[in-house]
Amino acid sequence: MALADEVYQSQHYKEKEKKKKSFSEAFIPHKGDSRKEIFSKVFSLFAIAVLIACIVVLAIYFYHQFEAKQNNNKLNVIYNSASNASSADPAVTDAPSSENVEDIPEAERPPLVKSEAAEKMLAINPDYVGYIYIPDVLSEPVVQRDDSYYLKHNFYDQVRSVGTVFADPRNVVNDYSDKQSSNIILYGHNNRDGSMFGNLDYYKWDLKYWLKNPFVYYDNYYENYTYVIISSFVINTLPEHDDGNLFDYINYVNFKDSGKYTFENFKNEITVRSQFITGIDFDENDKYLTLSTCAYEWDEARHVIIARRLRPGETTDNIDTTGFYVNQNPKWPAIYYKFNGGSYIE
């Protein structure tokens, strides 16, 4: 029996070795293989390499998504802790305001004082210019540099595809109110997991969502501002997607400047295109906040949200939202009607 067991084990070992060899031969070209076999093995090796590469890319992507959420949570804690401390400090409460100084000569205006929260964020990233948040929708630090750097860098200056919300480099964000840009434009990725500007998609079709979250809060170095959303629409960035037409919303930065980017045109375009009508009045003396992100209705589309800063005397409690309703005839670019039918009726 012992001899039989040894013979069996020896045969079993040889069989295993044969299988290993067969596996090797199945994927690695050997001398004597036919041309067809060589091609098949090379193709198989290529397919395995592509599979491994895809797994690695996906792993890195999901790790970066996870890392971004962890970083965001950490930054929220830092910012909110400093903000709460500042609000409890009488010295900070009495700090000079950037509002209502138009009649004071610039040389006589008191210097503005950065909030403790701004100081904390600037210590992490000197490109920091503010913080944007909509309760239960988004909460993100905002940076400003050039128009592409933060598409691929996070707040800690690491190369990451998730990027960071950034202000248009032409915008004046931190100054007295009358010196700030008429329209501050913020860009952010439309992440599928809802992070950054990913949850803004709901403002395209869900009136209840809009009514639940109609206000945008933006804090710069010195002030905490509240805005009410007045328009949400999807727009083309390529003229060929709208019969050569283009509402170049990113160039409406200062309405009082002369040129073709007038407030009248801005007001008309964002009104006729909006998915919902709010009935909230707005004029060229108001300050605006524009949120711009990718849309997936067609290539190179953008989803744009426009909000107006609350005026003196206005609060989140006395803004009337009862008149908000769905726009039954919003203006879309021509490419939308090409794929979905219908047309815009003026």
> Is the separation of the CB atoms in 289 and 218 below 8 Å?
yes
Backbone angles phi, psi at 146, to 5 degrees: -115, -170
- Assess if residue 94 is contained within a domain: no
- Assess if residue 65 is contained within a domain: no
- Assess if residue 91 is contained within a domain: no
- Assess if residue 105 is contained within a domain: no
- Assess if residue 336 is contained within a domain: yes
Q: What are the residues whose beta carbons fall under 8 Å from the beta carbon of 137, sequence distance 6 or more? A: 199, 200, 213
Count: domains in the chain? 1
Distance from C-alpha of 261 to C-alpha of 324, rounded to nearest angstrom: 27
Q: Are strands 288-295 and 276-277 parallel, antiparallel or unpaired?
A: unpaired
- CA nearest 231: which of 256, 214, 248? 214
**Residue 49, pLDDT score:** 79
pTM of the model: 0.83
Distance from C-alpha of 144 to C-alpha of 164, rounded to nearest angstrom: 10
**Residue 236, pLDDT score:** 96
- CA nearest 335: which of 290, 280, 297, 282? 297
- Assess if residue 106 is contained within a domain: no
Question: If you count them, how many residues does the chain have?
Answer: 346
Residue-number span of the structural domain to which 289 is assigned: 119-340
Q: 237 to each of 118, 129, 268, 293, 295, how far by Cα in Å?
A: 34, 26, 18, 12, 11
**Residue 230, pLDDT score:** 97
Distance from C-alpha of 191 to C-alpha of 199, rounded to nearest angstrom: 8
Long-range contacts made by residues 250-258, C-beta under 8 angstroms, separation at least 24?
250/168, 250/185, 250/290, 250/292, 252/182, 252/183, 252/290, 253/168, 253/170, 253/171, 253/181, 253/182, 253/183, 253/185, 254/181, 254/182, 254/183, 255/182, 255/183, 255/284, 256/182, 256/284
**Residue 194, pLDDT score:** 80
> Is the separation of the CB atoms in 167 and 142 below 8 Å?
yes
pLDDT in tens, the chain (346 residues): 555 555 445 555 455 555 455 556 666 766 767 777 766 767 777 777 777 877 777 776 666 777 778 888 899 899 999 888 766 555 555 556 777 677 788 888 889 999 999 999 999 999 999 999 999 999 999 999 988 899 999 999 999 888 999 999 999 999 999 999 999 999 999 887 888 899 999 999 999 999 999 999 999 999 999 999 999 999 999 999 999 999 999 999 998 766 789 999 999 999 999 999 999 999 999 999 999 999 999 999 999 999 999 999 999 999 998 889 999 999 999 999 999 999 888 8
- Assess if residue 21 is contained within a domain: no
**Residue 210, pLDDT score:** 93
In degrees, rounded to 5, the angle at the alpha carbon of residue 309 between the alpha carbons of residues 144 and 103 is: 90
Q: At 255, list the tokens.
A: 């309405």
What CATH number does the domain containing 152 carry? 2.40.260.10
- Assess if residue 108 is contained within a domain: no
Q: What are the residues whose beta carbons fall under 8 Å from the beta carbon of 76, sequence distance 6 or more? A: 139
Q: At 254, list the tokens.
A: 């200062």
3-class DSSP state of 296: coil
